Structure formats: structure tokens, C-alpha cells
Structure 1
């Protein structure tokens, strides 16, 4: 693959090691090759020339690069090292070499090893001890795994051919070059270890599933020394039970081992251990009689399946607690970590609208899609839980969770669909960008935003440092010109598509959505909501609107309680500050509204952008007529009025920009110089009306000649799909661009939060 001019990336296998080479053609410059490491606490280069990536208390080490040239079939090594360009960027520093010949940079992976036998072998989890030794847990259908001489179970006990199987656990040194022990773990049925944890002494804790009636047990919890449930009539197979097993430090004996389940399906998915040797297990259960403690958070099965969280004593012979965790639909625990004091951090997924998050100020208070991830903390006695939904409109799954030294939690899993929380940045371009020089340069202005797609932007006309952004995750506000943002209205995967700040009372904000929204503290849904305290709280304000999509809200400055809302079924009007609305769409023919613009005449003149062209009303929206003479494309997406010239209107369409100087009677094409004619946003300098900004789906342009000529102004814009433009009326050289970042890449994507 070609990475840079004259630089190819070549991957291959070598002696069971995965390698890749960077091959430079003669004359190519090695100094231009670099890579970025995001999320590390610190990058450093040690005395040996290795790159050390500090991750909390852990380190990831990339060995010093091997650089050489070939001369007559022999390699001549070239002095080389890593070089830090900045706190996140690493480059290669190469000594003198013959630039007339190709150069090879070979960063070798330190090791890669196979483990398996003649059958199918699957590793499900791994853990490290304090010395960096590696513990691997999984399941196998192989009868000839390399079990060590002192293994607790040296032989395969699996049952049905290609159906049964045993769990296994193996311990390697920190280079995976020496196998300290490998043991099977299982009975005559199907057994799989899917989670592993290791304590400070090097003892391994395993959890997973079994349908074996003779799974190895020792010091089992009362009544959990055998499998539960009723075998299937034809096959004789029992429903799965979970198990929890602790091995001694050399894998030669059980410290304890117990079944964990009720009469139907029970599966453990993850395990953690605290400094006192207490094991914490999560998974899911379909059993109404899953083992639970008397004072547990939840003592009954809430739905078809619930997550469970179980804490065992250090001896493994009793519970500290065991609880269901779920609502009325399917809920699964998938990952668990433990903090000092015995606080268990759990992640998984839920389809329940009543999952017990127990937080009024949760990051996400309601279910957004078919299934959402969840994350939360269970107290040391298993009696109190606080958590949050975490998801978008699709199916989202939290699968693993870890903690850093400061107690911050990190979750990973998979997500699909739109509206999943995304923080704009290098990995997720998009969000808001700010220019202070009329668009010549742009800088990211998204710190604190929870999504990288901006659907609407509004600026306080009195205090221009106050901004509002509508995203897939609600309304965010900034009081410092976009330097940072805080959440003013949190919505679970609902687009805020329209914002209006009342110029006569800037604490009053109106927000329109695509789809119904449920603001915090409300019990009913709405698609137009109002705040009178700068976004601190919101009330429902859509009485009379029969649309699910609000695209634009405008106010008559001569009558501030008179508002107009553009929707997908026409225009609605309110004369009482959005308390009630009436349909004012006569003449629109049922067309949806993409944008509205208002001339503050008496009565006001309004223009509507539709899929059928531009419509105009001169009687406060009572009647509408089409004004499309000269419009070669009728899919109008955005409008702008020239200040001081109410008859001059610009219409951005899917195929070009058009201008009228006679209130829509005739239109002329103003697209010359616009490289992409799909117009999505327009803004006009209030003090220099011939200065126009045009946002497209592939960049941003500026004209200082009233649309006659255009130049591209994208310096610093990391995302080029422009959705909204607003200008600071008090300082018109300052403007803000809302952009559309990548919200989903197709199929399911990995997430890290």
C-alpha cells in the first residue's frame, strides 16, 4: 500500500512473527513518515531506543526500529531511532545512508504465538499479572492441547463430537516464549471460560458457562455444587449454568469452584478480583430462581433476561451479594471492573425502557435505540446502583470496562446507527469551527460537545459570546465564544434541527427537533420546546403542530410573540410565544419546508425554501405563492436576505446558488466559482452586505461581490460538509461553521468511551 510519495507499506509473516516494512524508494524522505498515538498518558524514548507508551500504571513498548539497505544480497544496518515530534506524534530518525538505493524500515512486533491442538480452539479473554506474565482463557475441542505435567486437568473431558468442549487456561511468560502451565477445565458436556482475572499472588479466577453435570467443583456455595434445570428431552442437554473457579498459582489445583445458576439459561461473561481476593462476576440469566441475596438491589427477574452481578467472598464458598440487574426486556452484563472499596463497575446492554439507572442527572436518562449500552456502579454491598444508558438510534453494546488509577472508567463495545455519542476531534472530525478573520483561517471550537454533527447554530444577538448548538444529543451552550460548551438540553439520539434566540429577551430560546423529544423533567414528548432561562430548563411548546420535524423557527421582530415554524408538512404560526400553533400553509401544496426567511415589514413578508422551489407570502403566511422564474433547480435548501435590501434574496439549492433583486420575481445563477454546487448554508455580513458565505456539502466559499465571484475558505476546516453558518453581528469578521462529521461508517463500529 502507498502511504507517502515513494513510501510503501508491506506486511508479511516471518518465523511466526507478524511484521511490516516501510520500503522507501531512492530519494524518498524518511523524515516525513510519522504516526500518532492518541489517548496515552505519556510517550517517551528509553535508553535502548524503544518507544514507551504510558497507559496509567501500564506500559506498551515498541522496540527500536530495524533499518537497513541491501547490498549484494546482504543487509547493511543503518542507525535509526524513534523521534517525538510532539506529545502525540512519533517519527523515524535515520542516520546516513545511500539515498540512491531503497531503504527498509522494519518495526518488528515483539512476539506472536500460536496455542492450539487438532480441533477448534478459541481464546476469549486474557489477563496480566504484576510481572507481565500472560494468562489466556477460552474453550477447546482439541484433545491434544499441550497440557503441562502438573496441570490440574491434563486430559480433555468434552462430550459430543464437535459440540462438547472444555474450558482451558494457560499461563505464559511476558514474551509468550515459555508456557508455565496449561490445564483443561471441564466435565463431560460443553464448558467455556470466557472471562479471567488474576490477583497479586498470580492465582487465576475464571468464569464462563457449562452444561456438564460433572464440572469440577470444590468448596462450592451451598446448593451450587451441581447443575440446575431440566435436561432437554431429546438430547439430554441441560441449560447452561455459569461457573466461577479459582486456580492456585501454578495451575495444579482448584482453590474453589462453584456452579452459579438457576433452572434456565445462565451465562457469565466477565470477572474481576479485588485486592482482598473477592471475585466479582457479571453476565445474564433467564432464571427466575437465580441465586440472589436477601438484601440485594433486585431480587426478582424483571424481564425475559436480566443482567446479574455477583460478589463472592475470598474463600469462594459464600456470597457477599448477588443481584439481578434489569428491566422488563433483555438486559445483559458483559464487562466488569472493581475499584477500591468494593465498588463494581459494570457495562453491558439493555433493551429495557425501565432499566434501573437510578440517576436523575444521568448522562443519558432514557433508551435511545433498540438496544443501548449501559454503564454503572454497584455499591460494595450490592444494594445501590447508579448508571446511565449510552447509545444512539441503532443497537449498541457495551462489552468491556476498565478503570485507571484515578478511578475513571473506560468502556468499549460496538455501535450501529446514528446519534451515538461522539466527541469531535482528530479521530472524529466535525463539530463547530470558528474564524476570527472573515473565514481566512478556522479553528476547532467543539470542546465539550457530545456529537460531531451540528444540525443548528444560534448566536445571542445581544451578548455575542453566548452561542447555542443543536446536535444529535441535544442543545449545548457556550458563554465564551465557543471555546467550551456545556450541555443545556440532553436528548437521547434526537436531532435538534432548529434554534432561535429571542432578540428582545435573549434568555428565551426555542428549539425544534427531528422526531419527538423528551426533555428532562417532562413526561410527554414534543418536537418544539422552549426555555426562558438560557437553556437551564425546558417546557413543551408544540401544541397544534402536527409535524415530527421542525426545520426552522423565525420571529417577527415587530411582534416578538409571533413565531413561524417550518416543518415537513408546511408552516405553522404562533401569536402567543409558542404556547399554541396554527397551520398557515395555504398555497404550499403540502410541501415540506427546508428553510424560512422573514422580512420585518408590516405585515411581514416570508420566504420558504421547499423541494418545489421558493414560495413567498406577503400577508404574514396567510397565503403562499411560488416564485421560481429562473430557478433551474427547485430543491431549495437554504435562504438568506441581504441586509438593507429586502428584495434581494439568495437561494441555495442542491445544484447551485441563485439570486433575486426583485423579491423572487426573477432569479439569476450566482454559482460561478463554487466548486460544489450543493448549497447547505448561507450567511451575509450585516455591515458589508456584498460579503456572502456559502456552505456546501464539500467546502466553504466566500464572495465579496454579492455572489459574482467566489473563493474557497477552508484553511483549518477538518470537516468540509457545512451544515450551518452564523455571524457575530457585533464583530462580523467572527463567524461560526457547523459541520457534519462521520456519524456512522456502515454496519457496526467499535466505540471507546
Structure 2
């Protein structure tokens, strides 16, 4: 027999196989070197652009079913850079909407899987989300506009340009009523979110920075105006000062209570206060948070106000003794990064959601206001590293394609 299976010479095939094996080993070593170098450059880029944060942590959505005692990740696998706000469907607790720095994500199974909402329509950071009380409608405010979702999907709502970006969206108790807090002014819709108009009454020099609707009344609102906690009984046309806050102690946020209609919460300088008569009287709750200067973003409390959960720019805190002692929550939660507003399940007051962002919220807001490109935040060294990384990935892809084509040609060549 003169060859393998009767074809070709018997001995020259062995040197050819040895030579092919050497080339294959060389290509594997080269590919390994490329991957190692690309990985090193990626680490340098990421560490350069997020040096102020714990690199082992990610932003995202987290859920507690026992009023903040234990937390679990509710967006497994997403690795979000900036989760900014979350809303829970009042008719289906498994239906969640999350606003991020890149648009909206939706889950229909309580966070086990997620899909983009309104791709190609809703663009940019989403700071505000709301469901109507019956869950039939959903609204969001992104840097690209205000949007309404009904049975026909997402579409743009009519709103003045000064309404974008928006700080908050809340549904009023009245049918088809939505309130939108823009950069500093209040807007309202009385047609189910299809159009918004400015609410008169607030002076041009005043600035509104937080807004919440009080359950049980069609036009009862609470807000932070010029660093003070304020109440309106007529849908924002007139406001009364509750006596809490001011230039010396600016109010961070204000929140309604899920269990007591007349109870509202507020925070200033890490100090938590509560009123059981819509701001007529306030009293301090325990002691200030352990981190001096923490900016509070959300408050959730038990009906007897002994268990408190607070989200802030220093993370999440919990107290089981009415605020006398505070403990930072770090089990299963990101540490050293900012927590955003809390969201409570309308059907179960013990279920709360917290969102976290690797990028500081103030930076995301500034970028949204200025309409800047995120690439402007990258320093030249990090940008050069990123370009090198992309170039090496391209080279690696070309080498891999060449290797596969050679291998296929060798496999299918006649022997």
C-alpha cells in the first residue's frame, strides 16, 4: 500500500501533521496572549473610570420581603451601571419597571428575567416612572421626552421642554391625573398622561426638588420647595410651609406613608422627621444616621414606626428601635455606592425595592441636564486604553476567523 487508505504517499503525511500541529499551538499561544493583554487593558480602563467605587460591586435592583431585614438581587445577570428608579404595578406585583441611565427595563416575573421597554423610542436616562392607580397606564420621563404606555404600547406625550429631564412622576388619586416634577417646576396632566401643562402658582425664583402625592385625596401633594417641606391642598396651585427645613437645614426628600394616610416623612442632614397631621407638627425620629452628611433618598416604615428603612447616597440603613440605633445593610447589597429612592409593593407593605448606581446620581443628572455625551467623562488615558482594547479585540477576531478558515480548509482538503 503506497499511502493512507490507498491515497498519497505513506510517510510524508507525518511531517505535515507535525508542522500543522506546531502552527496550531502557535496560534493558540498568540490568541491566549491577546486575550490576556485585552483583559489587562480592560481592567485598567474600568479602574480608571470608576476609581471612586468598589470595583467588586455593581449597581442594580434589590428586593426585601421583610421590610429591609434581608435583601436579594432582583436583576440577576444584568450588571447595571446605574439603576435610577423602580415602579411596581399595583395590579400585578410581579410586573416591574426600572429606569436606568440607558432607558427602561421591564420584568413580568418579579425580576427573574428582563426585557427592554420602548427600544428606539425611550432614549437616555430615566429618573421618573409611575403606574396609574389601576395599573392600566404607565409613564416615564427620559432625557428624550415624556412617554405614555397604554394597551397600544409606548408613545410620546406632549410636554414643555422645561419638563425634561424630570425628577419625579406621581399618579394622583383622581382618574387620569398625573403630576410631573421637571427640573424645578411642576406640571400636571388631566387626560391620562397624554399632555402636560405647567401648574401656575409657584414663583419663578422658587425651585421644587421633590414631589409626592398623598393617598386618599385627588389634589393633596407634598413637596420640597426652596429646601423646605411644603403641602398643597389644590394640586400644586397654592402651597403652605410646614415649618421644616430651610437654608440652614435643607430638606433632602419627602415621602408619604404606605400605612397612614395623614403621615408624611422628611429628612434633612441625616435627620429623619415625621408628621402625623400632614406637616402641622413634626417630631424627630430617634437619632441622625451614623454617616454625617448622608443625603436621604427614600424612607419606608412599619405602621408603628419602630422599623425604619432609609436609602441614601451612603447606602441603605435600617433601625428596629424607632431610629435610636442605625445599622448599615451590607449583606447582599452593594457597598460604597449610592442607593436611590425606595419603592414599596402596593399590595404588600413588607416588600420594598432599592436601586443602586455605580455612577453618582448627581453626575447622571448633570449629564442629563447638559445633554452631554458620556464619552466626555473619560480622560485621554482611559480613552486610549479603551481604543487599544477594541483594536486588540478586532485583531483577535480576525486571527480567530483566519484560524477557523484554515482549519476548515485542511479538514475538507482531499488526501
Structure 2: segments with no counterpart, 5+ residues: 1-21, 361-373, 394-415
Alignment-derived partner of residue 740 in structure 1: 357
The equivalent of 1:498 in structure 2 is 128
* Equivalent position SS for 2:243: coil
Deviation at residue 461 of structure 1 after TM alignment = 1.5
1:434-449 matches, within 5 Å, as: 434-447=63-76, 449=78
How many Å separate the matches in 2 of 1:449 and 1:131?
36
Aligned match of 1:584 in 177, 194, 199? 199
2:332 aligns to what?
716
How far, CA to CA, are the matches of 1:602 and 1:437 in structure 2?
29
Partner of 1:452: 81
Q: CA deviation at 1:511?
A: 0.3
Q: Using a 3 Å threshold, how does the CA distance of structure 1 residues 473 and 652 change in structure 2: closer, same or farther?
A: same
- Asked if 1:537 is matched to 2:167, the reply is no
| 1:618 matches 2:236 | no
Cα distance in structure 2, aligned partners of 1:746 and 1:635: 33
Contact 1:569–1:590 (Cα < 8 Å) also in 2: no
Trace 1:217-228 onto structure 2 (pairs within 5 A). Answer: none
1: CA distance, partners of 2:302 / 2:272: 19
Change (3 A) 1:671 1:699: farther
For residue 649 of structure 1, report the CA deviation from its aligned partner.
Answer: 1.5
Shift of 1:654: 4.6
- For residues 366-405 of structure 1, the aligned pairs below 5 Å read none
CA–CA distance in 2 between the matches of 1:449 and 1:588? 43
Equivalent-residue separation in structure 2 for 1:625 and 1:446 (angstroms):
41
* Shift, 1:571, TM fit: 0.6
1:512 aligns with 2:141: yes
Q: State how far apart, in whole Å, the 1-side matches of 2:247 and 2:146 are.
A: 34
Q: Offset at 1:539?
A: 0.7
Preserved contact between residue 89 and residue 95 of structure 2 (Cα < 8 Å): yes
Do 2:146 and 2:164's aligned partners in 1 also have CA atoms closer than 8 Å? no
- Partner of residue 552, structure 1: 168
Structure 2 contact 129–138 (Cα < 8 Å) conserved: yes
State the Cα distance separating 1:718 from its structure 2 match: 2.0
3-state SS, counterpart of residue 466 of structure 1: strand
1:540–1:643 Cα change, 3 Å? same
Q: Output the CA distance in 2 between the equivalents of 1:429 and 1:549.
A: 24
Q: How does 1:685-700 map to 2 (within 5 A)?
A: 685=301, 690-700=306-316
| C-alpha RMSD over aligned residues | 4.0
Change in CA separation of 1:665 and 1:438 when aligned onto 2, cut-off 3 Å: closer
1:728 alignment counterpart:
345
Pick from 89, 107, 113 the counterpart of residue 484 of structure 1: 113
> How big is the shift at 1:555?
1.4
How many angstroms apart in 1 are the aligned matches of 2:203 and 2:325?
A: 33
- Report which structure shows greater RCO (CA 8 Å, sep ≥6): 2
How do residues 646-665 of structure 1 correspond to structure 2 at under 5 angstroms? 646-665=261-280
What's the CA shift string for 1:536-572, capped at 9, x where partnerless? 8311113345332211111122x22011111113111
Give unpaired runs (5+ residues) of structure 1. 1-127, 137-173, 177-195, 197-399, 402-410, 419-424, 518-526
Distance in 2 between residues matched to 1:454 and 1:447, nearest whole Å:
13
Does structure 2 retain, via aligned residues, the 8 Å contact 1:673–1:711?
A: no
Task: Encode CA deviations 1:420-479: one digit per residue, 9 max, x unaligned.
Answer: xxxxx9755111122233322322222353732111110111211111110011110112
Contact conserved, 2:270 with 2:289, CA < 8 A, in 1? Answer: no
Secondary structure class of the residue paired with 1:542 = coil
- Partners of 2:270 and 2:301 in 1: how far apart? 23
More strand by share: 1
| Superposition deviation, residue 415 in structure 1 | 9.0
How much has 1:640 moved relative to structure 2?
1.5
Tell me: CA distance 1:624–1:710, structure 2 relative to 1, closer, same or farther (3 Å). same
Report the Cα distance in structure 2 between the residues aligned to 1:416 and 1:175, rounded to whole angstroms: 23
Which structure has the larger Rg? 1
Change in Cα spacing, 1:449 to 1:641, as seen in structure 2 (3 Å) is same
Give the Cα separation in 2 of the matches to 1:441 and 1:746: 36
TM-score (norm 2): 0.69
User: Match of 1:553, SS?
Assistant: strand
1:679 to 295, 303, 316: 295
Looking at structure 2, the residues matched to 417 and 462 of structure 1 have their Cα atoms a distance apart, in angstroms, of: 44
- Aligned partners of 2:29, 2:331: CA distance in 1, in Å? 50
Q: How does 1:38-187 map to 2 (within 5 A)?
A: 129-132=23-26
C-alpha deviation, 1:591, in angstroms? 3.4
Q: Who is 2:413 aligned against?
A: none
8 Å CA contact 2:171, 2:179 repeated in 1: yes
With normalisation by structure 1, the TM-score equals: 0.40
Q: Partners in 2 of 1:443 and 1:549 — Cα distance?
A: 30
How many Å separate the matches in 1 of 2:110 and 2:206?
36
Distance 1:630 1:544 in 2: 30
Question: Offset of 1:584 from its aligned partner?
Answer: 1.3
Residue 460 and residue 570 in structure 1: after superposition, are their counterparts in 2 closer, same or farther (change >3 A)?
A: same
Flag the 1:528–1:708 CA change in 2: closer, same or farther, 3 A: farther
Pairing of 1:466-481 with structure 2 (within 5 A): 466-481=95-110
Structure 2 distance, partners of 1:413, 1:530, is 41
Q: Is the 8 A contact 1:643 1:689 kept in 2?
A: no
Question: d(CA) in 2 for partners of 1:653 and 1:573?
Answer: 27
Per-residue Cα deviation, 1:24-47 (whole angstroms, up to 9, x for no partner): xxxxxxxxxxxxxxxxxxxxxxxx
**How many residues were matched structurally?**
339
Give 1:510 deviation, angstroms.
0.3
- Counterparts of 1:334-373 in structure 2, within 5 Å, are none
Query: Cα deviations across residues 647-666 of structure 1 (Å, max 9, x unaligned)?
Result: 42111235432323332234
Which position in structure 2 is the counterpart of 1:462?
Answer: 91
Pair 1:730–1:175, CA change in 2 (3 A): closer
Query: SS at the partner of 1:628?
Result: strand
* 1:570/1:590 contact within 8 Å kept: no
